[in-house]
Structure 1
Amino acid sequence: MLALAAIGLGTLGYAAPQAVADETKSREWYLGAMRADDMWKVSRGEGITVAVVDSGVDSSTRELQGQVLEGADVSNEPMGAHVDQRGHGTEMAALIAGTGAEGGIWGLAPGARILPVRTVGAGLADAPDPLLARGIRYAADNGARIINISQGGPETPTQTRQTEAAVTYALSKGALVFAASGNDGDKGNVPNYPATMRGVVSVGAIDKTSTVTKWSNSASNVALAAPGDEIPGRCKISAGFCARQGTSQATALASASAALIWSKHPDWTNNQVLRVMLETAGKPTTGKIPSPYIGYGIVRPRKVLLDGEGNPGPSDVNPLLAASEPVSPKPAPSGDSTSQETSRRRSAAEPGPTQGGGTNLWLGVGIGAAVVAAAAATIAGVRRRR
């Protein structure tokens, strides 16, 4: 069964209720690092629908009220797309499109809309397929420009066949598919499906110092990285917010970055939006060979929105696929060599204010956090292939 990518990287303790919206926003360190306030003057993600293929989305959450479409529950025991017993899908939706209402989470693309596609429920032994494949197809058929899959797990031949067909279908319909690279980079580094699939944008996680986290999976399929450490989310037991970590969160922020760009350039295709994301990412090395840890680099939508960088290029060629095998999309509505990586630490593409890592607990308004520090491992000699 597919495991939600953030599970196993939980939080510790409790947190008091948050009283002031600015307090919550200040803890979303990546908003400042990515210059969200400046980007929002240009684009807030309006007109873009992001499907959250996950555990459901609770549309009554204060920062998501008015942000969530009807959606669908394709699980084996349907309870409704707006039912989220785990809270994971709701958390991803808030990171993408939260409005910050009443002290809630600010999403990176607060003007976007969320299409909830429930594939997994708490305590249910739902097989991932055909559920995941069905969810991807539903999203592609119901207006989703971006499909966020903050899930991952070991793949099987049956899963691969069914879900690869669904991914190919979604790409042909003009959507972008983002998936979590996985959270076991320091525990076996097992390839995580569906992030391993051709055409899927696999996303790794960085911390405040723009360093890839030790638990973020590394592989030749990693395409981009985004903030995924010390990310605020609602505590599971008490009121308030706790710090979370995972490539799930990084995937949500990568999806939101795409929404910002696409909203500004609605005439671009999925291939063009992805191409400028890859071109403008904070690159770890010179040359065209992606890093196995952060792919083509750390997402930097500000380079497109504020600096006007990025060449969209051909509309019908997916930059992650061979040029001889283009996927022709519908327009959106109104390197073969060896790369040596001697360290996980990379130069800051969007530097944060302080060094961070591990799992934090926020104890209340204006109160500090307890930090579990994690040292970055040195890794060398990884052969890349595309």
Structure 2
Amino acid sequence: MSCRYFVTRILTITLASLLVGCLSTPEPSGVEPNAFETPEYHAQRGLAVVKASALYALGGTGQDVVVALIDSGLDAGLNEFEGRLADPGFDHVENRPGTVDRLGHGTQMAGIIAANKDDQGMHGMAFNARLIPFRFGDDNEPFFFDQEIAQSWQSGFDKGARLFNNSWANAIPATEISEARYKQVMPDSLAVARKLVSDGAVFVFPTGNELKREPLAEPGLPAALPELEKGWIAVVALKNDGSAINGKSNYCGIAAAWCIAVPGGDSGAQAGLLTVGKDGHYMQTAGTSPAAALVTGALAALQSRYPQLSPQQVREHLLATTNRSGIYANSEAYGRGLMDLEEAARRIPGILID
């Protein structure tokens, strides 16, 4: 072996040791991952596929992390969200602080992200994270609510959120979006997104539910505006067992470099991911929307595992630790691969040691 090999190995191992010393992580819980694999855990079938229990055992539960939910609102009075709000948020439909949720979509996404671990029904990916909900509209395409979305992003950031769950997208193929066209469609939101990404925020979007080979406008936006990529994640939805893309999801396509795959439920009345309905009852939801919420929750949980990393560093670590074996090597479909929270929780961020 060459001297260069030994020098490289020494430098790599030394750097790894230094980074371990620099990273201040929560104390491990002192229990094995299987202690977290309760009936409540298994009821939310996506958690086991992405190995969330390994992250929980190392302290990654979302503690002290704030997530902004930009959706149809949230019924914050439900038991599953007791103690989970960082701020009441804002209802742009009724123009008042706090939100209601007429459609139920926002409440369902909130459940996927942060429903309480309380031995009832199911729990969210980051069950100790806190939410700031925003309601921007109950129908029509998102571009009808450009100003409200922009205001929600800025308000969420101002109130401490650095992770933004956006389980929606404009029905325009990302391949048809240019900077000029997006400025026509979402001028206010574009300006705020650029600013907040520059300031360290991370935005999560679903690829869309048309079973096409390209994502919709927002998940693919960094293809037209590369400066957004460092703060962007697109999400494809897999079947519950992770075996293939589900019956709705668009592919990663041109978003492959910032796209990740997670369970999003199968088709059928009892085949989705379990979450909380607007009336407080548990229900199934399927598609790329809950898949995006699962990833946002994972970012929050991983952020609490590595509190000294920035949200954008956590994002890159999540993308760098995916499972890319077998079918997940197809980047057109699965982007960076299947989310693997055991690998993300155990590997030293930024360091690869053979």
| TM-score class normalised by the smaller sequence | 0.7 to 0.9
Cα deviation digits, residues 250-277 of structure 1 (max 9, x gap): 1111111111111111111233112111
Cα deviation digits, residues 218-271 of structure 1 (max 9, x gap): 2211411111112013467x8743322111111111111111111111111233
Residue 335 of structure 1 corresponds to: none
RMSD after superposition: 3.0
Residue 328 of structure 1 corresponds to: none
Q: Which runs of 5+ in 2 are unaligned?
A: 1-37, 173-180, 223-227, 266-271
Q: 1 CA distance for matches of 2:194 and 2:280?
A: 41
- How far is the alpha carbon of 1:284 from its aligned partner? 5.0
Q: 2 CA distance for matches of 1:285 and 1:310?
A: 24
AA aligned to 1:210 is S
Q: 2 CA distance for matches of 1:221 and 1:312?
A: 25
Question: For 1:116, what is the secondary structure of its paired residue?
Answer: strand
Once the two structures are overlaid, the 10-residue window that deviates more, 133-142 or 170-179, is 133-142
Task: Give the aligned length.
Answer: 288
Q: 2 CA distance for matches of 1:112 and 1:159?
A: 32
Q: Residues 303 and 23 from structure 1, CA distance in 2 versus in 1: closer, same or farther, beyond 3 angstroms?
A: closer
Superposed counterparts of 1:1-386, under 5 Å: 24-42=40-58, 43-73=60-90, 75-101=92-118, 103-121=120-138, 127-155=144-172, 157=182, 158-185=184-211, 191-198=215-222, 199=228, 200-207=232-239, 208-218=241-251, 219-222=253-256, 223-229=259-265, 230-234=272-276, 240-284=281-325, 291-305=331-345, 307-311=346-350
Query: Under a length normalisation based on structure 1, what TM-score does the superposition of the two structures give?
Result: 0.67
**2:65 and 2:300 in contact (8 A); partners too:** yes
Q: 2 CA distance for matches of 1:271 and 1:24?
A: 30
Q: 2 CA distance for matches of 1:45 and 1:191?
A: 28
Q: Which runs of 5+ in 1 are unaligned?
A: 1-21, 314-386
**1:76 and 1:126 in contact (8 A); partners too:** no
Q: 1 CA distance for matches of 2:338 and 2:142?
A: 35
Cα deviation digits, residues 318-343 of structure 1 (max 9, x gap): xxxxxxxxxxxxxxxxxxxxxxxxxx
AA aligned to 2:48 is G
Q: 2 CA distance for matches of 1:239 and 1:174?
A: 34
Q: Residues 176 and 123 from structure 1, CA distance in 2 versus in 1: closer, same or farther, beyond 3 angstroms?
A: closer
Q: Residues 286 and 56 from structure 1, CA distance in 2 versus in 1: closer, same or farther, beyond 3 angstroms?
A: closer
AA aligned to 1:180 is P
Q: Residues 126 and 275 from structure 1, CA distance in 2 versus in 1: closer, same or farther, beyond 3 angstroms?
A: closer
AA aligned to 1:132 is I
Provide the identity percentage.
Answer: 24
Q: Residues 49 and 312 from structure 1, CA distance in 2 versus in 1: closer, same or farther, beyond 3 angstroms?
A: farther
